[in-house]
Structure 1
Amino acid sequence: MEHHNLPTEDLKTYGIINEDLTFSKKLSPDDVQKFLRGYTIVADNDRNRATFQLTDNNTQLKVIFLERDKSLSEILEQSKEKVQYTDIKNLSKSPDQWNIEMKAFIFDKENSKTVEFDFIKNATELTAIIADQKDLQELGRYKAELQKLKNYLYDKLDKYPEIAKEIANDMNIVSRELDAVTRISVEDKRMYNGNSDVKLNVNDRDMYEDVNRTRENEEQQQQEEKRRLRR
């Protein structure tokens, strides 16, 4: 392979390439080509995650270490029962690596595997999948996680003014999904209640007459208001 510009010693340190300068067999040819084009390699181990990316025309290796709030094995097992939400915090302190990642792990029954979704990168798709479950409780859990992420982003605006634009962009994405979830929740509740917040039994004469009287009173008040304005 062409390696004269690559940071070979760093790549060896993290096991991305071997001593003979061949890439690790854990990486497919497609993975290698993407990595050389700037894509990120992700390595998971229980609660820990590391990402590797070539920068500066492939002369530097950017390494970020992260930590989950739950172990990966626990997440994968519990995702078979219900959607799992997890935070991945950046362990570095540099300003350009401020962020927290929030993920959802959803079990794909058709393919018998758990799929990971990012709250920002996969926002629209994730909301659609959660909404498609037609589960108001799950929708509520998802909404709470979105609000938690929005609060976190809001807190970071003042701390990192140099990347405020990027943080604001992420906040806009989260706010959009929160609005969508709120709208879906209202629509689902209406469907659950029979598409109406008012349940009128037409066989209940008293109730029927009460509703009619209320409507007549409202119409009378409107007419009186119009006459008053014309004076």
Structure 2
Amino acid sequence: MNNNTLPQEELKKYGIINEDNSFSKKLSSEDIEKFLNGYTIVADNEKNRIAFKLTDNNSRLNVNLFERDRDFEELLEKSKEKVQYSDVKKQYDIKEDKSPDQLNFSKLAFVFDKETNTVREYDMIKNASELTKVILEKNNALENEQYRLELQKLKNVLYDKIDQYPEIAKDIKNDLNIVDKEIDTISNVSENTLQKEKSVDLDVNDKDMYEDANREREEKFQDEREEEMDRPRGRGR
């Protein structure tokens, strides 16, 4: 790591450092340390997101612009009620930048954490297993079904990307396997829940049927007794 080669003019342009070369107060000491060690920092505004990353021994600043399908503040606010999902697209051609992200598309989930009173962002591929665990812990059938539908949408997009970018088809198929695994997990949980509900319904219905059968037998027995009493009897010798 070399801090002496920082692209100061570019960093100033985007407000990452100030005119006196000190880092912006919006960044914590942890953010700065991670940034200088190769981590990406992001800035969100309405539907836009800009990601900054230092490369080439901290001498070059990579800037990637993203656009999401929904307003950032809207996602944060509505996530307090239920999990929110958003599609994000990179505003460059993948052939110009073979980034580790593999695709010029990602799908995010925004989950409100009541304990910390914050909204956590999950990439539905990179954080797949962790996100599935969080969703299942909510123990909400509607949330489970919505998550399954969003996974299916993501799966459809990945299938389309295989045709668009055959040069990274192998990587996309790996992502597809991840998504398929989470679909299976959430589907199995939903199916087991449904089976339990059906089992409970059957138990109740069986009880009703048992009581109804007893009632019918008692009524039939009573009718037969009344008929027997009303039937004329012959005289014995």
TM-score range, shorter chain: 0.7 to 0.9
Q: How far apart, CA to CA, are the structure 2 residues paired with 1:197 and 1:56?
A: 66
> Of 165, 169, 193, which residue of structure 2 is paired with 1:164?
169
Query: Which protein is bigger by CA-based radius of gyration?
Result: 2
Are the equivalent residues in 2 in contact too, given 1:105–1:115 (CA < 8 A)? Answer: yes
Q: Report the identity percentage.
A: 49
Partner SS for 1:43:
strand
Is 1:104–2:104 an aligned residue pair?
no
How far 1:48 moved relative to its partner? Answer: 0.7
Q: How far apart, CA to CA, are the structure 2 residues paired with 1:111 and 1:26?
A: 20
How far 1:13 moved relative to its partner? Answer: 1.4
Q: How far apart, CA to CA, are the structure 2 residues paired with 1:193 and 1:133?
A: 22
Distance change >3 Å, CA 123–CA 91, structure 1 → 2: same
The 5-angstrom pairing of residues 180-219 of structure 1 reads 180-194=185-199, 201=206, 204=209
Q: What is the one-letter code of the residue matched to 1:17?
A: I
Alignment partner, residue 153 of structure 1: 158
Is 1:114–2:119 an aligned residue pair?
yes
**Structure 1, 107-116 or 83-92: larger mean CA deviation:** 107-116
* Unaligned residue ranges in structure 2 (runs of 5+): 214-237
Q: What is the one-letter code of the residue matched to 2:28?
A: S
**Structure 1, 23-32 or 195-204: larger mean CA deviation:** 195-204
TM-score (norm. length: structure 1): 0.80
Q: How far apart, CA to CA, are the structure 2 residues paired with 1:116 and 1:191?
A: 32
Partner SS for 1:104:
strand
Are the equivalent residues in 2 in contact too, given 1:190–1:196 (CA < 8 A)? Answer: no
**Structure 1, 135-144 or 43-52: larger mean CA deviation:** 135-144
How far 1:85 moved relative to its partner? Answer: 0.9
Q: What is the one-letter code of the residue matched to 1:141?
A: Q
Q: How far apart, CA to CA, are the structure 2 residues paired with 1:133 and 1:24?
A: 38
Partner SS for 1:193:
helix
How far 1:20 moved relative to its partner? Answer: 2.2
> Of 118, 137, 143, which residue of structure 2 is paired with 1:132?
137
Q: How far apart, CA to CA, are the structure 2 residues paired with 1:159 and 1:195?
A: 48
Q: What is the one-letter code of the residue matched to 1:175?
A: D
Q: How far apart, CA to CA, are the structure 2 residues paired with 1:197 and 1:123?
A: 36
**Structure 1, 50-59 or 95-104: larger mean CA deviation:** 95-104
1:119-151: CA deviations, max 9, x gaps? 112111111111222222221111111011111
Partner SS for 2:18:
coil
> Of 178, 187, 190, which residue of structure 1 is paired with 2:183?
178
Partner SS for 1:194:
helix
Are the equivalent residues in 2 in contact too, given 1:43–1:50 (CA < 8 A)? Answer: yes
Which 4+ runs in 1 deviate beyond 4 A?
Answer: 195-200
Alignment partner, residue 30 of structure 1: 30
How far 1:200 moved relative to its partner? Answer: 6.6
RMSD: 2.5
The 5-angstrom pairing of residues 89-100 of structure 1 reads 89-95=89-95, 96=98, 98-100=103-105
Partner SS for 2:206:
coil
1:40-94: CA deviations, max 9, x gaps? 0011111110101112222221111111111111111111111111111111123
TM-score (norm. length: structure 2): 0.79
**Structure 1, 184-193 or 46-55: larger mean CA deviation:** 184-193
